[in-house]
Amino acid sequence: MLLCGILIFGAGCKTTTNNQASTAPSASFGENAGDEAWEEFEDEVAYTRHYDPFEGFNRAIFSFNDGLYDYVLGPVADGYKWVVPNGVRNGISNFFDNIRYPIRFVNQILQGKFAEGMKETGMFLVNTTYGVVGIFDRADEFPGLDVPPEDLGQTFGVWGIGNGPYIVIPVLGPSTARDIFGRAGDRFADPGSYLGYWQWEAAWSARGVDNLNALPGRVEVYEAITGSALDKYTAVKDGYLQLRKKQVEE
């Protein structure tokens, strides 16, 4: 039994656990029968690795951000939701999503996803014209053109570059070394950054509107993840890393 503890995946142990399970009374609640059965499922755990050498520092920034959500961003998001109707908020968010089309397209090409790049272009054209400069998202009517969005962090992942250390950014929240570089690189494909060259006021107000409008959604996701968490920091870290892993894979 002790040996079994050491060799979790040992073939000899597997039979022991199986025998135990089959002779044990049915696994109903309240009894602790079949108690080591979880080991049979360990082959499923191919999940995220948490490389977090700056955990102490990250936790400090995380708790700052957490307070910011509670006392500033949450109330601001609620106020914004109260003033601006849902339909308008969706329109603004669709508009900014549509404008960021070059980021998605460039990364689809960098990942060799040429068919997806064509579909993304098609979606951009449909939303820009039929969707009235992107205010309406017509993806529902053209499900064939709806492809997963790509960014440079994902592209690095597809190229085989690992996450590197996990890093919590003030205000912005969870990221990794790889994704920070990705974010910086994506600026080159972001039309918003070029607007800044000749009209920086317009560029900054656009960015402000974009961020404010996206806030309620971000607060909601944050609350959904942390609301049922026992260790908020770890829950957000794992949620972020799992989500990015899935996005790189698809």
Partner 1 sequence: MRLNKYRILQFGSILVFLSILFGLPAARAEQGDPRDMLIQTVNEALDILNGENYEGLSVDEKNERLLALVESRFSLNILIQRALGRNWRNLDDEQRTEFKQLFSKLVVQTYSDRLAEAGDRPEFEFAETIELPKQRLEIQSKVDYKDDTITVFYRLAKRDGKWEVYDILVEGVSLLNNYRKQFDSILRQGSVEELLKTLREKVAEF
User: Any idea which residue has 């460039």 for tokens?
Assistant: 106
Q: What is d(CA 159, CA 76) in angstroms, rounded to the nearest whole number?
A: 39
Residue from 3, 5, 170, 171 touching partner 1 (CB under 8 A): that is 5
Tell whether residue 7 is a contact of partner 1 (CB under 8 A).
Answer: no
The span of 39-47, 99-107, 108-116, 123-131 binding partner 1 (CB under 8 A) equals 39-47
What's the token pair of residue 103? Answer: 């980021």
Residue with tokens 């064509």: 118
Distances from the Cα of 47 to the Cαs of 51, 106, 128, 197, 239, in angstroms?
A: 13, 28, 39, 43, 11
CB of 247 to partner 1, least distance (A): 8
- What span, in angstroms and rounded, lies between the C-alpha atoms of 35 and 7? 17
3-state DSSP helix/strand/coil % of the chain, to nearest 5: 70, 5, 30
Strands 166-169 and 173-176: antiparallel
Question: How many angstroms separate the CA atoms of 245 and 141, rounded?
Answer: 29
- Identify the residue among 9, 11, 12, 41 touching partner 1 (CB under 8 A): 41
| 143: contact with partner 1 by CB under 8 A | no
Q: Which is nearer to partner 1, 15 or 242 (CB)?
A: 242
Options 63-71, 76-84, 194-202, 220-228: segment touching partner 1 (CB under 8 A): 220-228
What is the rounded (10 degree) CA torsion for 34, 39, 41, 45?
A: 150
Question: Which residue in the set 9, 12, 44, 197 belongs to the binding site for partner 1 (CB under 8 A)?
Answer: 44
Return all residues near 186 (Cβ < 8 A) that are at least 6 apart. 103, 107, 151, 152
Under the binding rule (CB under 8 A), the answer on residue 9 touching partner 1 is: no
Nearest to 183 by CA among 160, 150, 153: 153
The residue from 76, 135, 169, 243 that contacts partner 1 (CB under 8 A) is 243
Site string for partner 1, 69-108 (x = CB under 8 A): -----------------x---x------------------
Of 75, 85, 188, 246, the one binding partner 1 by CB under 8 A:
246
Q: Which of residues 178-217 bind partner 1 (CB under 8 A)?
A: none
The residues binding partner 1 (CB under 8 A) are 5, 8, 21-22, 26-30, 32, 34-38, 41-45, 47-48, 50, 86, 90, 220, 224, 227-231, 233-235, 237-239, 242-243, 246
